[in-house]
Amino acid sequence: MIRRILTLFICVTVFGGFVRAANASEITVDLADPVVQITAGFSGTDLLLFGVAPGDGDIVIVIRGPIHDEIVRKKDRVLGVWVNKDEITLEDVPAFYAMASNRALDEFLPGGIANIHQIGLENLQFNPKDKSLVTEDWDHFRHALLRNKQRQELYTWDPLPLIFKGNRLFRTKVRFPANVSVGTFGIETYLIRKGELVDSHTTLLNVRKFGVEASVYDFAHRQSFAYGILAVLIACFAGWAANAAFRKT
Amino acid sequence: MQIYLPIAEMSVNVFLLLGLGGGVGMLSGIFGVGGGFLMTPLLFFMGIPSAVAVATEANQIVASSVSGVLAHWRRGNVDVKMGGVLLVGGVLGSSFGVWLFSVLRELGQIDLVIKLSYVIFLTIIGSLMLIESIKSMRASKRSVKSKAHHHTWMHGLPFKMRFRKSRLYVSALLPLAIGFFVGLLAAIMGVGGGFVMVPAMIYLLGMPTSVVVGTSLLQIIFVTANVTLLQSVNNQTVDVVLAMLLMVGGVIGAQIGTRIGGHLKGEQLRGLLALIVLGVCAKLTFDLVVTPIDLYSLGGGGGH
C-alpha cells in the first residue's frame, strides 16, 4: 500500500514537473522574510506570505515543519494515579503543519490530490516505527498525535484565510507559536483549476535560533561538559556576590 | 516582558519568574530552609518541563548554598571532615540519581516519579511541621527537655571515624549512607535535601545543632554542582537563563526574608509554611489523580 502510494507520488511529481516546464511556472510565491529568528524576546511570530497566480483557479498553501519521530504515550489508571503505559513511536511526523486557502477545501480540492500531496491533517501519512504495532488501536494514537499537536498550536485543522487582491495577487498570514521547532520548513503552493492540479511551487523557510538563545542552546548540546562547568561557576559566583553584597550593608 | 528560555524552549514572563524566585527566596530567608522543594513544583505549575525544572533548580541551589555556607564558614560552623564524608556519599548518590533519571526519562516515567516523590516528601514534611508547630504553640510555656545520646545498633558499625568539630566518634558508613540518599533526592527532585539531611544529622548522627546547617550546606554545594554537571552532560536539561533569573530573584528575596524573619514569631510562621507545603502537595496530588484532558501525550520526557 505504502509502496503504491510512493510510486504514485513519484509519478505525479515527475509528471507535475513536465506540466510546470510547459507552463513556465504559473505561480510565484514569496515570503516577507525567508528566515524566522527565535531570539530572546521570541513569543511567536506572524509570517506574511504573498504571491501571484495568473489565470483563474484556487490556491492552497501547505506549510510543513521538519519531520522527525514522535513518541505518543497513553495513560492508564494504576492505583488511582494516571501513569504512562502503552507507547508508539510514529515516523515522518512534521513538527509543524498549517494550511491556507482562498475558500473551503472541499469546494475545490479533489480528495485524490489532497491525499497524494498530504493536504489536510486527515491526509498526513505517518507510520509506526515498529510495523508490528499496527493494530486497531493504533489509529487512536494517530488521532491523539493530531489532537495534541493542535492543542500546542503546531497543527491547524482548518485552512487559514488566503485573500486575493486585484490582478490575482494573493496573500496570507501564518502564525508561528513560541514553541515552534527549528529547522527547514517547506512552503508548498498548489494551484487547482476545475478539479485539476495545474501548478505547484515550493519554497523554503528557515526557522532558527538567533543571538544569545542560539549560542546557549548550541553550547548546551555540543559542549555539554563545558556548559555544565560554566553553569556551576556562574552559580558559585552569584552566591559569592550575594554574600559579599549582603555583608557590606 | 516575555523571555524565551533556550533549553526549556518556551516563552515566559520575566517578572513572573523574578517574583517567583523572590517569593520563594523570601520564604527560605524567613524559615532558613533551602526552598528547592517549593520552587521546583512551582516551576511545574508554570509549565516548565519537569526534567528542565529539576536540573535547573539544582543549579540555582548551588548559588544559594554558596552564599549560605560563606556566612556559616566565617562563624566557624562547618565540620569539613564530616562534610567531606557526606559529600562522598552525596556524589555517588547523585551520580546514580542522574543515571536513573535518564533511564526513567527514556521510559517516559520521569514525570510521574518526580511528582510522586514530591507528593510523598511534601506530605511527610508538611505534616511533621504542622504537628510540631501546633504542639509548640500549645506548650510554648513548658520547656521540653529532649536529649540523650542513646547507644543503638548504629554504634556497632565498622569503619569508625573521629569528627573533632562535631565531637563524634561514629562509623563513616552512616554519613556515607545519609549523603547517598540525599544525593539521590537532589538528582531526582532538584532539591538540596537539607530537609532530610538536617534532621538525619541531628537525630541519627547526634551532631551539635550549631554545625549542622553549615555542614549540610557544604555538602549541598558539591552535590547540586555534581547534579548540574551530570544533568548537563546526560540530559541537556539545565537552562542557565532560567537559573540566572531564579538566582537574582532568590538572592534578593532571601535578604528581605532574613530581615523579616527576625521580627516574626516562630511557631505561627512554621505553621504557615507547613500549610503552604501541604497546599503545593495537594495540587500535585490532584494533578496526578484527576482524569487528564487527554489520556495521550507526546514527547520524550518533558510534556505533561
Tell me the pLDDT tens digit for each residue of B56-67: 999 999 998 888
Q: Check pLDDT > 80 for residue B265.
A: no
Q: In terms of pLDDT, which residue wins out, A155 or B142? A: A155
Task: Supply the pLDDT for residue A233.
Answer: 94
The reply to whether residue A232 touches residue B228, judged by beta carbons under 8 angstroms, is yes
Counted across chains A and B, CB pairs separated by less than 8 A come out at: 169
Task: Supply the pLDDT for residue A14.
Answer: 41
The reply to whether residue A144 touches residue B241, judged by beta carbons under 8 angstroms, is no
Residues A170 and A76 in one domain: yes
pLDDT per position as a tens digit, A179-196: 888 889 999 999 998 888
Average pLDDT rounded to a whole number, residues B124-137: 83
The nearest alpha carbon in chain B to A86 belongs to B296
- pLDDT > 90 fraction of chain B, expressed in percent and rounded: 23
Average pLDDT rounded to a whole number, residues B25-52: 84
Is A11 part of any domain? no
Q: In terms of pLDDT, which residue wins out, A25 or B255? A: B255
Task: Supply the pLDDT for residue B258.
Answer: 76
Is A32 part of any domain? yes
Task: Supply the pLDDT for residue A133.
Answer: 60
DSSP A25: -
Range of the domain at B284: 12-136+156-289
Task: Supply the pLDDT for residue B133.
Answer: 79
Domain count of the fold of chain A: 2
Are A27 and A201 in contact by the 8 Å Cβ rule? The answer is yes
Residues A164 and A249 in one domain: no
Range of the domain at A200: 26-209
Distance from CA of A97 to the nearest CA of B (A): 16
pLDDT bucket at B149, cuts 50 / 70 / 90: low
Please report residues of A whose CB lies closer than 8 A to that of B71: 243
The reply to whether residue B232 touches residue A227, judged by beta carbons under 8 angstroms, is yes
Is B143 part of any domain? no
Dmax over CA atoms of chain A, in Å, equals: 80
Q: Identify the CATH number of the domain in which residue A50 sits.
A: 2.60.40.1930
Of A38, A145, A234, Cβ closest to residue B4? A38
Is B34 part of any domain? yes
Highest mean pLDDT among A80-94, A130-144, B78-92, B196-210: B78-92
Q: Which residues of chain A have pLDDT under 70?
A: 1-25, 131-136, 248-249
The reply to whether residue B240 touches residue A234, judged by beta carbons under 8 angstroms, is yes
pLDDT per position as a tens digit, A116-153: 889 988 888 887 777 666 666 778 888 888 999 998 88
The reply to whether residue B295 touches residue A74, judged by beta carbons under 8 angstroms, is yes
Residues A169 and A58 in one domain: yes
Residues A192 and A93 in one domain: yes
Calculated CA dihedral for residues B224, B229, B232, B235, nearest 10 degrees: -70
pTM of the full structure: 0.77
Task: Supply the pLDDT for residue B266.
Answer: 66
Residues A186 and A218 in one domain: no
The reply to whether residue B251 touches residue A242, judged by beta carbons under 8 angstroms, is yes
From CA B147, how far away is CA A122, in angstroms rounded?
71
Is A153 part of any domain? yes
Is B127 part of any domain? yes
Mutate to test the interface with A, among B7, B9, B14, B285 (most CBs of A within 10 A): B9
Residues A201 and A86 in one domain: yes
Residue at grid coordinates 513511536 = A89
Is A15 part of any domain? no
Contacting A residues, span 141-170, partner chain B, CB-CB under 8 Å: 141, 144-145, 147-149, 151
Is B302 part of any domain? no
pLDDT bucket at B96, cuts 50 / 70 / 90: very high
